[in-house]
A and B are shown apart, each in its own frame.
Chain A
Amino acid sequence: MDAAVLTCRDLTRSFGALKAVDGVSFSVAPGETYGLLGPNGAGKTTIISMIAGLLEPDGGEIQVAGRVMTPSAKDAKAAVGLVPQDLAIYPDLTGRENLEFFARLYGIDRDARRNRIGEVLAVTGLTDRANDRSSTYSGGMKRRLNIGIGLLHRPLLLILDEPTVGVDPQSRNAIMSAIEILADDGISVLYTTHYMEEAERLCDRIGIIDQGRVVAEGSRRQLIAMVGENDLVRLSVSSDALRAAKACRDVPGVESADVDDGVVVCLMENAAERLAAMLAAVTSAGVSITGVNVREPDLEDLFLHVTGKALRE
């Protein structure tokens, strides 16, 4: 992975007694979209902050395009475009002025600046409103401007920290489409999210992160394979879900049975043949079944599988 745009090796970072990042290693290849998927508080933003040069790691090393990243590493920073989770724009400047300011800060010369700002305005769909103060923009437009600033200097690595938080479904879809276009153009993207469907749609590879550690990593197919070639059965029960889960585990072919929000979630081989036996076992345990759902597992199920808890917790 020598040609990786981003390489993180054994990163650690603590805040007082809290170990926010604990030995995280991963890499992002040129043109790859890599997702960090985990619940709020898992350590995603801390990892992003270290990669963007905002925080010094307590241990480990970050290399961006072969350059070691530290808060004072200007050459490494020049290779990164950061789109923070919060809107990082000046509301009293117009969209064009916001872009102009950051383009100058990144040292883009005058002629290239004018062209590049025009391109970014076009990509983000803000050309018509470029000369309006960004305080007058809709939430989605502000988000697009926020992303546009990160793209201005054609970074080798674009970091997007939960860019769709607080965005309406329509704008969210537009943002994800824009990111897909960028990925198609060959830019490397590091994307953090706690929305499973975003990670599944956008990312070539995904790192599942929990409590500051990468607990699983791979393509969607590889990650789902970790759950096994099993079916996922969700049993809604009227009473004691824990007793129902215990009864399920005793059924041959059931690999795991956990309780998620009062629902029993089972991984089992060949549900078509074994489901009747499992339902009988639950009923025999004195628990009434109110609903049954059988499907293939997804990343949310993987998260539950490897951490024992739901992604949204």
Chain B
Amino acid sequence: MIRSALIILAKDLRLRSRDRSVLLFAFVIPLALTGVFTLILPSDDDFLLTVAIVDEDGGAIAEAFTNGVVPALVNEGFVDASYVDSADTARRMLDDDEVSAAWIVPEGFSHAVMAATPTKFIVLHNPDRVLSTEVARGVAEDFVAEVRRVGVAVATTAAASGGTLDQRQLDAVTARAANTAGLLMVGAVDTEVRQLDATSYLGAGMAVFFLFFTVTFGITGLLEERDQRTLPRLLAAPIGISAVHLGKAIGAFVIGMASMTVLAVGNRVLLGVDWGPPLGVAVLITAGVLCALGVMALVGSYAKTAEQANNLQSIVALVFGLSGGVFFPVGATGWMASLSLFSPHGWFLRGLGDQVGSGSWTGVLPATGALLAGALVAGLLGALRLRKAAA
């Protein structure tokens, strides 16, 4: 069976080497897009959020933001803060384009939080500054989310202590709100992914995104054989259907590995990306390719023609890519972060981030485990469906 599978593999690789679309999807487009995006998108180093801060409240929670969170962001070089005395001043500065956003802590904010009653945190923004608007809003949302938890803690503590808080409890709650600075420093960008610089992140995102298209060239091979009427001739030869399946699967794996290897080296050499220790990169790429194979085999098993399979697989690759954050970081918290746990792309990027963050190749192991589990489950289901279809 192995011999027959290798003969089919050799034929497929020869055919693929003559197919320009494979070369484009596997090698050229991902690298080119990374290069283009790197040129047109601002990098972490370039970005600076200019923001006006108004504290109309003066309470403990407001101070946790103005004296804790904001200085931390300023120290990170992420924010240029201007403290002003009124919302009107902030609006004027926005109108004059002196700042790109404003954070306003309204009067009664801290009291409302302590009383666990509804309140507002106001973000003013310049609609022409899309990125700054999103970042300002993201920081505010993360702060409010933490404050909401503080509010719940306040209510719980107050209930437990008979409805009143002593000074020690109040200080503890305030300190917790102040500690949101640690979260907010990286609030706009995923905690782990933050470990990758923008170009490295984009390069990895493009590579894994196009990997899911590249492996389909192998996976759909069986359907292509059927479409071009060569499958009956293969099956009439003294080989088993398993040899044909194996040949196609090895072909997809080889193309996927070749694509990712070239992209890893190309990104490193041409764009200077840093994905961390090569051993970890190799392990993660192997797991990623296997996962792509399994997922796309399962998706392909629902198609009757190669064209149908390509359409289905493109949709799945796009959905997984977007939910996994290949074009933009999905954040450490929130529903997008939860969604990314179901995306192989998300795990791949998380794995690289973990590796760079930890400085050791073992950082990829959790993500590798998740990818291999996905490969196993999807691959087995796909194989069962393909076997049933062949019978």
Task: Report A's interface with B, CB cutoff 8 A.
Answer: 49, 52-54, 71-72, 74-75, 77-78, 80, 82, 84, 86-93, 97, 101-102, 104-107, 149
**Residue pair B15, A90 in contact (C-beta under 8 Å):** yes
Interface residue B168 (Cβ < 8 Å from any Cβ of A): no
A130–chain B nearest beta-carbon distance, Å: 16
Q: Which residue of chain A has its CB nearest to the CB of B6?
A: A104
Complex alpha-carbon distance, A247 and B100, angstroms: 102
User: In the complex the two chains form, is A82's CB within 8 Å of B239's CB?
Assistant: no
For residue B11, which residue of chain A has the nearest CB? A101
Decide: A88 and B233 in contact? CB cutoff 8 A.
Answer: yes
Contact B236 A54 (CB under 8 A): yes
Q: Quick check: is B228 within 8 A (CB to CB) of the other chain?
A: yes
Contact across chains for A97 and B14 when beta carbons are under 8 A apart: yes
Q: Are B233 and A92 in contact (CB under 8 A)?
A: no
B232 and A49 form a contact (CB under 8 A): yes
Q: A residues within 8 A CB of B229?
A: 84, 86-88
Q: Which residue of A lies closest to B229 (CB)?
A: A86
Chain A residues near B7 (CB-CB < 8 A) = 101, 104-105
* Whole-angstrom CA separation of A86 from B15 in the bound complex: 20
Neighbour of A77 across the interface among B8, B230, B236, CB < 8 A: B236
Residues of B within 8 A of A149 (CB): 233
The answer to whether A74 touches B239, judged by C-beta atoms less than 8 angstroms apart, is yes
- Alpha-carbon distance between A78 and B232 when the two chains are bound, in angstroms: 14
Q: Which residues of A contact B19 (CB under 8 A)?
A: 92
CB-based closest 3 A-B pairs: A86-B229, A74-B238, A88-B233
Does B238 lie within 8 Å of A106, measured CB to CB?
yes
> 12 new A-B pairs (CB below 8 Å) besides A77-B236, A102-B233?
A54-B232, A74-B238, A75-B238, A77-B238, A88-B233, A89-B230, A90-B11, A97-B14, A101-B7, A101-B11, A105-B4, A105-B8
Q: Is the interface of A mostly helix, strand, loop or mixed?
A: loop
**Is the pair B232, A88 in contact by a Cβ cutoff of 8 Å?**
yes
Known: A90-B15, A104-B7. A82 touches B232 (CB 8 A): yes
B236 cross-chain contacts in A, Cβ below 8 A: 52-54, 77, 80, 82
Residues on B with C-beta less than 8 A from A86 are 229
Per-position contact with A for B1-17: 1 when CB-CB < 8 Å, else 0? 00010011001001100
List residues of chain A with CB within 8 A of the CB of B238.
Answer: 74-75, 77-78, 106-107
Let me know if A84 and B11 touch, CB within 8 A: no
11 contacts between A and B (CB under 8 A): A52-B232, A53-B236, A54-B235, A54-B236, A90-B230, A92-B15, A92-B18, A102-B233, A105-B8, A105-B237, A149-B233
**Interface hits, B193-252 → A, CB 8 Å:** 228-230, 232-241
Max chain A Cβ within 10 angstroms of own Cβ: one of B18, B19, B233, B236:
B236
B232 surroundings in chain A (CB, below 8 A): 49, 52, 54, 82, 84, 88
Most chain B CB inside 10 Å of its own CB: which residue of A75, A89, A90, A149: A90
Contacts of A75 in B (CB 8 A): 238
A105, B239: Cβ atoms closer than 8 Å: yes
- Residues on A with C-beta less than 8 A from B15 are 90, 92-93
Q: How far is the CA of A105 from the CA of B241 in the complex (A)?
A: 13
User: Of all chain A residues, which has the CB nearest B237?
Assistant: A105
Residues of chain B within 8 A of A52, CB atoms compared: 232, 236
Inter-subunit contact B14/A93 (CB<8 Å): yes
- A54 to B18: give the CA distance in the assembly, Å: 30
The CA-CA distance from A49 to B4 in the complex, in Å, is 22
Residues of A within 8 A of B233 (CB): 82, 84, 88, 102, 149
Compute how far the CA of A49 lies from the CA of B233 in the bound complex, rounded to whole angstroms: 10
Alpha-carbon gap, A77 to B243, bound state (A):
15
Tell me the bound Cα distance from A97 to B18 in angstroms.
Answer: 13
**From residue B108, how far is it (CB to closest CB) to chain A in Å?**
73
CA distance A52 to B235 in the complex (A): 9
Chain B, residue nearest A101 (CB): B11
Are A77 and B14 in contact, CB atoms less than 8 angstroms apart? no
Contacts of B8 in A (CB 8 A): 105
CA of A88 to CA of B232 in the docked complex: distance in angstroms? 8
**Cα(A88)–Cα(B19), bound, Å:** 19
Q: Which residues of A contact B239 (CB under 8 A)?
A: 74, 105
Instruction: Report the minimum CB–CB distance from B17 to chain A (whole Å).
Output: 10
Closest to A76 in B: B238
Which residue from chain B places its CB closest to the CB of A100 in the assembled complex?
B11
**Bound Cα distance A88, B233 (Å):** 7
> Which of chain B's residues 163-182 have a Cβ closer than 8 Å to chain A?
none
Nearest Cβ on chain A to B143's Cβ, whole angstroms:
59
For the complex, give the distance between the alpha carbons of A97 and B276 in Å: 43
In whole angstroms, how far apart are the Cα atoms of A90 and B236 in the complex?
16
CA distance A106 to B239 in the complex (A): 8
A93–B11 contact, CB under 8 A? yes
Query: In the docked arrangement, what's the CA distance between A64 and B11, Å?
Result: 29
Q: How close is A58's CB to chain B, nearest CB, in angstroms?
A: 14
Considering only CB atoms, which chain A residue lies closest to B18 in the complex? Answer: A92
B15 to chain A, nearest CB (A): 5
Enumerate chain B residues within 8 angstroms of A105, measured Cβ to Cβ.
4, 7-8, 234, 237, 239
Q: In the complex, how many angstroms separate the beta carbon of A67 from the nearest chain B beta carbon?
A: 11
A90-B11, A90-B15 known; A102-B228 Cβ under 8 A: no
- Which of B14, B229, B238, B241 has the most C-beta atoms of chain A within 10 angstroms of its own C-beta? B238
Q: For the complex formed, measure the closest distance between the CB of B306 and the CB atoms of chain A, giving whole angstroms.
A: 14
Q: Are B237 and A106 in contact (CB under 8 A)?
A: yes
Inter-chain CA distance A9–B239, complex, in Å, is 25
Shortest CB distance A290–B (Å): 46
Which B residues are in CB contact (< 8 Å) with A102? Answer: 233, 237
A177 to chain B, nearest CB (A): 24
Could you say which residues of chain B place their CB within 8 Å of the CB of A104? Answer: 7
Q: How far is the CA of A54 from the CA of B241 in the complex (A)?
A: 10
Which residues from chain B contact A92 at a C-beta distance below 8 Å? 15, 18-19
What distance in Å separates the Cβ of B353 from its nearest Cβ neighbour in chain A? 41
